[in-house]
Structure 1
Amino acid sequence: MGDISVGACSWTDPELVAGGWYPAGRRDAEGRLRHYATRFPVVEVDSTYYGLPSARNSRLWTERTPPDFRFDVKAFSLLTGQPTRTAALPADLRPAGGSSWVRADDELRKEVWERFSGALAPLREAGRLGTLLFQFPASLAPGARGEAVVEECAERAADWPLAVELRHPGWWGEERRTATAALLARHAIATVAVDTAQGLPTSVPPVACVTSPDLAVVRFHGRSPAWGSSGPGAKEAKYRHTYTEAELAEWLPRLRDMADQAASVHVLFNNCCADASVRAAETMQGMLAGDAAFTLRGPRGVPR
């Protein structure tokens, strides 16, 4: 059976930093990461979705965490077809015309990938990269175009560990599920299963599908009824949820099945309001540690 690593989707979220989870004296950039790494064995880097990473940060992340700590790095928005703020690009890549938003052509996407992947080289070379997470927008529907986008992603990032979250619910509908799994398995791309509110037009079903022998990923987004909403304050409303033990327990059989099929399973909490994500991660760690069926990585599991 594969091992399970539990963590959060950010260690730098402003609400988390402002709360009381980080002890006094550990609230600077270095102290936060070092403290986080004493509690969990994996973290998702979400800042790389909003701006390109730097090789310097990759080296610092490696230096500030134990040798078996892993970083799942979220792909820059432009690489997933999302509209991207022009200001998020390096100055020399910003198109002329003064537009606030940019959509990439093939040439720009290729250059951005070279810089993105190059900045992560120190992390990868140190063996500390868990996976690259490509979160595709809900506008990417299943079909020929959607499949082509996923295929292009796999070709661009060949030889990199990849995980894909498909946010259009149609990808995982009963009539499409097998074809979606086959598409990802063809490239050994790890499927990202999600937990989120059900019964909404944007709800992705909680399908725990394993398409890579190396890794499976689950992201817990919370179960707010505001999931899928937009407008002022929507982001905070979408992710505002405190998981109960009963809600987390629903996933134990699914996690057991995933661990039976993949060498590693990463369980990441994205309900990033105040300290809800790390508290839920701590609860999940405790539940897994108390179940002999699981091999848990990190401070409460396998010795590091």
Structure 2
Amino acid sequence: MIRVGLAGWGDHDSLYKAGTAAKIKLSRYGDHFPFVEMDSSFYAVQPPDRMARYAEETPEDFRFVVKAYQGMTGHLRGKPYYANDEEMYAAFRDSLEPLIRSGKLWAALFQYPPWFDCSKPNVKLLRETKRRMEGFPCALEFRHQSWYEPEFRERTMAFMREEGWIHSVCDEPQAGIGSIPIVLEASRPDFTLVRFHGRNAGGWNHSGEANWREVRYLYDYSDAELEEWAERVRELLASTSEVGIVFNNNSGGHAAGNAKSFMRKLGLPVPKFPDSDIPTQLDLFHM
């Protein structure tokens, strides 16, 4: 099974009719895509009652990938919100419980920063994190190239398999040590995550600029690039039963359109955009 979705549901204006209230956007999002990556959880652990509401507002077969809180992955700068790690992880697990009960949690995504390199202390930290998250499906994504260098690549994948991590395969710019290559391997037979970050190599490492987040994910995938990835996803399905594809390249508003184009290439049903004749006309050429 293949599910295609987007990172977040609030900022994709092409999915909603003009004037759509923020509080109903998730339910409208579910008319277009069968799963979403929740990124608000990276900035703050979401209250369980809010997560329960999200589960209620989405179709029965909808799925969530929930990004782990920044304090758990080494991104946090400033004063910690939680008194200790035990309290922080307990809050995150409690937040995920409503999605677990509803059968809608696909994975909690632990994305580590570019300075999180392949080292013994970091391997130890990953083991401890997996232990703290026992009972919850967890995906693992790196941003430091060392994990996939020739001398470590097979050991990295073997470690994921042994610990039960879901592999997050990335398409991103090849822009030095703070980016990783495409590693088309499944670490578990039940699920593999694929995340499209765009290929804006010039903007990938400019984290010191005020608008670096907008620049980093500014990219529009070409038809040829999506076609190439359609073949890769089919290849992945030989070793994993489910694949989730997240388009995270929304700085220029390209994610939703790229995702729907990709769905067509995979032969998946593609709901039309509201209030626009352009996607409808494009559909005539993709039947």
Q: What is the TM-score normalised by the length of structure 2?
A: 0.89
Q: Structure 1: which amino acid aligns with 2:238?
A: D
Corresponding residue for residue 283 of structure 2: none
Q: Report whether the alignment pairs 1:44 with 2:44.
A: no
The answer to whether structure 1 residue 22 and structure 2 residue 16 are counterparts is yes
Verify the 8 A CA contact 1:41 1:298 in the aligned structure 2. no
**CA displacement 1:7-61 (0-9 Å, x = unmatched):** 0011123xx3xx4431135x22332111111111010000000011111211111
Task: Tell me the CA shift for residue 298 of structure 1.
Answer: 8.1
Give the TM-score, by structure 1 length.
0.84
- Matching residue of 2:277: none
Distance 1:275 1:4 in 2: 23
| Residues 4 and 297, structure 1, Cα contact 8 Å, conserved in 2 | no
Deviation at 1:199, TM superposition (A): 4.5
Answer 1 or 2: higher relative contact order, Cα 8 Å, separation at least 6.
1
Instruction: Trace 1:1-304 onto structure 2 (pairs within 5 A).
Output: 3-13=1-11, 16=12, 19-24=13-18, 27-86=20-79, 89=81, 93=82, 108-225=84-201, 226-231=203-208, 232-289=210-267, 296=268
- 3-state SS in 1 of match to 2:121: helix
Unmatched 5+ residue regions in structure 1? 95-107, 290-295
Q: Give distance in 1, aligned partners of 2:204 and 2:100.
A: 34
Aligned-CA RMSD value? 1.8
C-alpha displacement of 1:299? 6.2
The alpha carbon displacement at 1:175 in A equals 2.2
Q: Deviations over 1:51-90 (max 9, x none)?
A: 111112111111111100001000001111222443x72x
Contact 2:115 2:178 in 1 (8 A): no
Once the two structures are superposed, what CA deviation does each residue of 1:208-266 show, in whole Å capped at 9, x if it has no partner?
12001111011000111211221211111100001111111222232112111112100
Aligned pair in 2 of structure 1 residues 161, 298: CA closer, same or farther (>3 Å)?
A: farther
Distance 1:215 1:237 in 2: 30
Per-residue Cα deviation, 1:146-203 (whole angstroms, up to 9, x for no partner): 2111111111111110100011011112221100001100022111011111253423
Secondary structure of the residue that 2:36 maps to in structure 1?
Answer: strand
CA contact (8 A) 1:21 1:275 kept: no
Counterparts of 1:41 and 1:250 in 2: how far apart (Å)?
Answer: 22
Asked if 2 retains the 8 angstrom alpha-carbon contact of 1:30 and 1:64, the reply is no
The answer as to whether partners of 1:132 and 1:161 remain within 8 angstroms in 2 is yes
What is the aligned partner in structure 1 of residue 279 from structure 2?
none
Distance 2:271 2:59 in 1: 11
Going from structure 1 to structure 2, the CA distance change for 1:298 and 1:85 (only over 3 Å counts) comes to farther
Provide the C-alpha distance between the structure 2 equivalents of 1:177 and 1:30, rounded to a whole number of angstroms.
43
**Residues 41 and 299 in structure 1, CA contact (< 8 A), matched pair in contact too:** no
